[in-house]
Amino acid sequence: MKVINHPIGYYGKTFRFNSFWGCLICEQKKSETAGLLENIEDLEKQRCIEAVIDPFKMCERNKSLGWKKIRHPRIARNYARLLTWLCAHCYPIANLLFVCLKLNLFKNGCDASNFYYSVYPEMKIQHSLCLPRTIFISTTSQRFSEHGVAFIGTFLPTVRMHAWVVEDGMPADRFDKQWMHFQPVMMLL
């Protein structure tokens, strides 16, 4: 997988995502920021990025409530719990899984997202689980490597951050509506 950092200029400052520590870095100098679609040849990946640039043109995913039966639900459940713990306590290791691991347990990101919600069904805590959910979706979906892009974005000037996945030009998580408020600072292709 390929990680692309996308710095954002905001009132004379440049904000960059530090992919090792998982934090936003602010620099006082203003730098040139390239467009999101530059140097990306894959048409499926471009379609996902264009959907984030203009989310109001995006189709909504159908509202399937479950996931298809998988061969190893215990492995998926333990992996989801491990990711959630790692993202809270040791981000560099979670980041390594994000970039290197591919399990292909689910047909698509929507099924992976629905399974993650079954592991953590409390909707009021889901906003704080966006990063482990994004890593889970991107590493367990079969379609992600060809048809998906994971994003980490910021809501300036507050520097709040959010992570989400777009697969086949649609959000993989049917419950996540807040991603529209965030500007991407990192993409995982």
Over residues 168-180, the mean pLDDT reads: 88
Of the candidates 11, 39, 36, which has an alpha carbon nearest to the alpha carbon of residue 186?
36
One-letter amino acid at 80 equals: A
**What does the pLDDT read at residue 113?**
92
pLDDT at 105 over 80: yes
Confidence (pTM): 0.84
pLDDT at 75 over 80: yes
Query: Comparing 140 with 67, which gets the higher pLDDT?
Result: 140
**What does the pLDDT read at residue 116?**
93
**What does the pLDDT read at residue 6?**
80
Residues 17, 20, 24, CA angle at the centre, nearest 5°?
Answer: 25
**What does the pLDDT read at residue 158?**
85
Bridge partner residues of 150 (DSSP): 165, 188
Over residues 162-189, the mean pLDDT reads: 90
One-letter amino acid at 2 equals: K
**What does the pLDDT read at residue 67?**
56
Classify strands 13-18 and 23-27 as parallel, antiparallel or unpaired. Answer: antiparallel
pLDDT at 63 over 80: no
pLDDT at 69 over 70: no
pLDDT for 136-161, tens place per residue?
999 999 999 899 999 999 998 887 99
pLDDT for 14-28, tens place per residue?
888 888 888 888 888
Q: Please give the C-alpha separations between residue 78 and each of 70, 110, 114, 115, 130, in angstroms, as whole numbers.
A: 14, 19, 15, 12, 17
Q: Which helix (H) or strand (E) holds 161?
A: strand 160-167
**What does the pLDDT read at residue 73?**
87
Coil, strand or helix: which one is 128? helix
Coil, strand or helix: which one is 9? strand
Query: Comparing 6 with 138, which gets the higher pLDDT?
Result: 138
Over residues 53-82, the mean pLDDT reads: 75
